[in-house]
Structure formats: C-alpha cells, structure tokens
C-alpha cells in the first residue's frame, strides 16, 4: 500500500533558500578546488569565495545574487588565466633546469669514461715497464707516469669541482623557484591587501569581459603635503578598512602604489557618480597613528578619490598609463 505524505508543499521562500544554499555550497566547492589545483594562486581566490556565504547572509536580494554571480565569474576567468600562466612558466623553468642537469650528467659520465681509459692505459704501461732491465730506463718511465698521474689528478679535480658547482647552482635555482611558487605573489606584505600585480591582472580580466568599467583610485596624503612619508603601511591598511566599508562586499581592493588604493566598478562613470561622491565624502579627512621613533602621534591625512573610466578598445598598458597620469594631475572627485 502506498503511503500519502501529509507534509506541506515547499513554499516559494523555502525553495529560494534551498537554491541559495545549493549555490553557496557550489561556490565553496569551486574555491576549494581552485586552491587544490594551484595552491600558490588558488588560495587567494578560495579565501575570497569562502567569504561569499557570510556576505550574502546579510543581503540575498536578486540584485545581490546577480552581483555575486558577476564577481564569481570574474574570479574564475582571472584564476584560469593566472593559473595557466603560472603553470606554463613553471613547466618552462623546469624544462630548462632539466636540460642543465642532463648536460651536467653527460659531463660526469664522459669524465668517468676518461678516467677509466686513463687508468687502463696506465696499467698497461706499468706492466710493460716492469719488463725493462735497465735501471735508468725504469726510473725515466716511473717519473713519466708520476707526472702523468699528477696532471690527470689536477684535471679530474678541476672538472669535478666545476660539475659540483654546476649542480649546486641548479639546486639553488630549484629551491628559489619553489620558494617563489609557494609564496603568494599577489599580496602586499605591509597591508595584507592585494598588490599592484593582482590589480593589473584584474584590469586584463575586466577588459576581456568587454563591459564598461571604471577604476576608482583612493590617494591618501599627509595633511599639508602632496604625499605620504615612507613606511606608512599601517596608514594604508586603515584606509583599506574604511574603503572596504564604503563599497560592496563583492568589490576587491588593491594597493596600487605607496599611497594609492584602487578598486574596479563594472559600470560607466555616469552610473556610479553618486556612489563615488559618497565614497569620497566617507574617506575624506582623517587621522591615523604612525609609530615614529618609539612614539605614535596622530598623523592627519587627506584622501582624494579619482575615477578613471575605461575607453573601449584600450589596452591594459594604455589604461595603466592614464591611471598614473590622471590621478596625479586631473581634478579629483569633490
């Protein structure tokens, strides 16, 4: 006999929540896979994707889901390009090192063959000399063999030292490459933010999507000056925290230079004008503690916000040149 369930049919809200949970689990699985396939590159993207469930917990509206989908898509495109480039570079470097090691191996084998041939020849000559009756001739032959042995020993030592040094150099290259491969190349050590290399990769990705976008630059200077003094990582980290609070959770912040942070909005300058005005007002003037000779005075700062809109057909290098030019000379957002 078949049983009839009395459980109520799922509501639209329950269905939406189930779909959202499934989507988030998929995103997390993708992030974990990225980190496993290429740890040095994928870990950065994994950490970003793992934060998505918590962020959407505060805003699961259709608009937020659409924005998150775009963000995930951009991350995947960027990851595929970066991981592919990293793998190709690693393969080429490994092939080069293998060629060097193969050459060293052939040199050592050739040296061993020469050594064997020399010893065999010497043994034959010694055996022949043993049959010589004249003492003077025997002494002459012994001196000749001793001289030959000394010359061979010096040559063998030189060749062996050269081979050992070559192997040592190859080992150092491999160790250096592995150290570089295991350390993230996209993190600014002073602030923990993504660095300029990561920003330039993101520009390439955004251009590849063939959609309008703008680069938002937040330039922080010391009050009464046109720049920040050196060693101001804590100041830029504090700016990064304020910047993150002023933008959407799906937007990434990069340290562009000593005193500049950037983020990218996928929209035209006209569409984001109001948002940029709010960000400019939010960042504005402030103060931050900076340790100087054991003391931590409050350093007054000013943050200027610039908008550089991508021009259709522009290459990444051209855009970077415009960013450098316009953020140092153009009138900022007021």
Alpha helical stretches, state H, 130-188: 135-182
Low-confidence ranges of the chain (pLDDT < 70): 1-16, 40-41, 52-60, 84-95, 98, 120, 122-134, 138, 145, 160-161, 175-185, 223-231, 286-298, 329-334
At residue 260, the pLDDT reads 93
CA distances to 85, 155, 202, 210, 269 from 81, in Å: 6, 50, 10, 16, 27
DSSP state of 311: P
Is the alpha carbon torsion for 32, 37, 40, 44 positive or negative?
A: negative
Locate the DSSP E strands across the chain.
Answer: 214-222, 254-257, 260-265, 285-289, 298-309
Token pair, residue 101, equals 């090691």
> Which of 316, 283, 314 is CA-nearest to residue 301?
283
* 3-class DSSP state of 217: strand
At residue 179, the pLDDT reads 60
Q: Please report how the helices 39-50 and 12-37 are oriented relative to each other, as an axis angle in degrees rounded to 10.
A: 160
At residue 158, the pLDDT reads 73
At residue 223, the pLDDT reads 60
pTM over 0.75: no
**Residue 248, phi then psi, degrees to nearest 5:** -70, 155
At residue 65, the pLDDT reads 74
């Amino acid at each position: 006999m078949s049983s009839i369930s009395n459980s109520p049919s799922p509501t639209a809200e329950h269905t939406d929540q189930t779909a959202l949970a499934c989507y988030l689990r998929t995103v997390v699985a993708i992030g974990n896979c990225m980190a496993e396939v290429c740890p040095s590159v994928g870990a950065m993207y994994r950490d970003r994707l793992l934060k998505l469930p918590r962020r959407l917990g505060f805003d699961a509206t259709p608009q937020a889901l659409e924005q998150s989908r775009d963000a995930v898509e951009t991350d995947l495109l960027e990851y595929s390009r970066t991981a592919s480039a990293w793998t190709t570079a690693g393969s080429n470097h490994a092939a080069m090192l293998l060629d060097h090691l193969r050459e060293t191996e052939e040199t050592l084998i050739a040296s061993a063959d020469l050594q064997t041939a020399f010893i065999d020849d010497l043994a034959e000559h010694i055996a022949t000399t043993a049959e010589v009756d004249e003492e003077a001739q025997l002494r002459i032959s012994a001196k000749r063999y001793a001289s030959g042995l000394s010359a061979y020993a010096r040559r063998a030592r030189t060749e062996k030292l050269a081979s050992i040094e070559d192997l040592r150099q190859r080992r150092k290259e491999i160790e250096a490459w592995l150290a570089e491969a295991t350390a993230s190349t996209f993190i600014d050590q002073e602030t923990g933010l993504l660095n300029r290399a990561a920003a330039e990769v993101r520009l390439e990705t955004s251009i590849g999507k063939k959609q309008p976008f703008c680069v938002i630059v937040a330039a922080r200077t010391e009050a009464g000056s046109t720049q920040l003094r050196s060693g101001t990582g804590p100041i830029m980290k504090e700016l990064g925290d304020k910047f993150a609070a002023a933008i959407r959770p799906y937007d990434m912040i990069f340290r562009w230079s000593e005193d500049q942070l950037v983020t990218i909005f996928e929209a035209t300058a006209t569409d984001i004008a109001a948002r940029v005005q709010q960000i400019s007002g939010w960042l504005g003037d402030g103060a931050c503690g900076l340790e100087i000779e054991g003391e931590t005075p409050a350093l007054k700062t000013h943050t200027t916000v610039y908008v550089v809109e991508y021009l259709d057909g522009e290459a990444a290098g051209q855009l970077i040149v415009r960013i450098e030019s316009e953020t140092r000379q153009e009138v900022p957002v007021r």
